[in-house]
A and B are shown apart, each in its own frame.
Chain A
Amino acid sequence: MKLITHNMLTSKCMKGVTVGYPLKIQAVDVKTTEVDFNPEFISRLIPKVDWNVLCSAAESIGYLEDLPKEVTENYENNVDFLKKAHRVLLEIDIINGELICPETGRKFPINNGIPNMLLNEDEV
């Protein structure tokens, strides 16, 4: 699971959960893979990213690196900034671990890079 996905994912499908965001990450195994850099895509994505959540997620798994704490002004033209955003959003992959619902503490396992968000019948 990449951090772009973590930035978008919630546990609000669960009964009784209202926001379900951000999910806490407990990472056991993290891998980085090189992904082609597409500056246009990253610039279009940034307004949708919750930047604070991205920073704390990266920090919590030890991959904050040199990611700026805030979105830079005129980021569309700032290749250096877009590359850093790209790196954290798309290249860091959580292979094994857990996501934890902030409201209920329910754990969602991540196995082989895929988070399992399936709910039991009594949770929907």
Chain B
Amino acid sequence: MSRPEHLAPPEIFYNEEEAKKYTQNSRIIDIQVQMSERAIELLVLPEDTPCHLLDIGCGSGLSGSVLEEQGHYWCGLDISNSMLDVARDREVEGDLIMSDMGQGCPFRAGIFDGAISISALQWLCNADKTSHNPVQRLHKFFTMLYACLSRSARAVFQFYPENSEQMELVTTQAMKAGFYGGMVIDYPNSAKAKKIFLVLMTGGNMPLPSALGTDENSQGVSYTAAREKAKKMRGKPLKKGRAWIIEKKERRQKQGKESRPNTKYTGRKRSGRF
């Protein structure tokens, strides 16, 4: 199978058609949701605290929806106009910015409690234009990311490195920018369940979280819980129907947040006469 990042630059590859296909494919949704949940776990955020997070390569907001589910507020960056359009049409809660991570992170210092990036970092290892130099672009990206994170914040990247050189390339550039950390590889013995996470820390050298399924016998079995959860998500419409709205309200009430009482109007289309 050829890698998408070899086919075309991301802003071309993720065109309108691909963005739609991507966001409607239930298998893709399952996988992105599972990986996002794991990435958030690896962020080790303070418990029961709504955080201000950055989603790098947020795409159509599949990863961002998981941040919302867990009660966080997010801001998303992506280079693809079409992916961002889908995110906006899905009415995600996060605010969206079109930008190229290889040009840096356009934010003030110290404002995010953490960052996640799901299935995007491998794109940065590629030179899409003659003027692109992956080492320089990674360097600029990690340096500016470091600056916009608060002290003790982490950044977790799930990505698909093409080979061990790429893993080394990104790790080296991240360390040069001042981060501590390294790779956490879940289910390293399973071709299917294996997932690679780059875990970066700002506050000092702490032990890396342990990977899942590292003993010989476990070939991804403990993914079942996540899979069950993803199954529930799969039945859900992407469009925000009444059932979805009511469920979300219940979730928010559980988190102690305000929400309007349910009425017969909940989730109804507005008449447009406003």
Contact = CB atoms under 8 A, between A and B. Distances in A.
Contacts of A20: 106
A37 B97 contact: no
A26 to B, nearest CB: 17
Interface in A1-52: 1-2, 4-5, 8-13, 20-21, 35-38, 40-41, 44-45, 48, 50
Contacts of B51: 44
Chain A: number of interface residues, binned into ranges: 20 to 34
A102 interface: no
B110 interface: yes
Interface of A: 1-2, 4-5, 8-13, 20-21, 35-38, 40-41, 44-45, 48, 50, 112-119, 121, 124
B103 A118 contact: yes
Contacts of A10: 106-108
A121 B129 contact: yes
A9 B105 CA distance: 9
25 contacts: A1-B95, A4-B75, A8-B111, A9-B106, A9-B108, A10-B106, A10-B108, A13-B140, A36-B252, A36-B259, A37-B257, A40-B49, A41-B73, A44-B52, A48-B52, A48-B111, A114-B81, A114-B84, A114-B88, A114-B96, A114-B97, A114-B98, A115-B97, A118-B98, A119-B103
Given A4-B95, A48-B52, A113 B103 contact: no
B84 to A, nearest CB: 5
A113 B88 contact: yes
Interface of B: 49-52, 71, 73, 75, 79, 81, 84-85, 88, 93, 95-100, 103-108, 110-111, 129, 131, 140, 144, 148, 150, 252, 257-259
A5 B108 CA distance: 10
A53 to B, nearest CB: 10
B98 A117 contact: yes
A45 B49 CA distance: 12
A117 B99 contact: yes
A46 B106 CA distance: 20
Contacts of A2: 95
Contacts of A40: 49-50
Given A114-B97, A115-B97, A115-B98, A41 B50 contact: yes
B106 A11 contact: yes
Contacts of B148: 8
The 6 closest A-B pairs by CB, nearest first: A13-B104, A41-B50, A117-B99, A5-B95, A116-B98, A121-B131
A12 B97 contact: no
Which of B49, B84, B99, B108 has the largest number of chain A CB atoms within 10 A? B108
A117 B85 CA distance: 15
Nearest to B84: A114
A35 B93 contact: yes
Nearest to A49: B111
Given A8-B75, A10-B107, A112 B49 contact: no
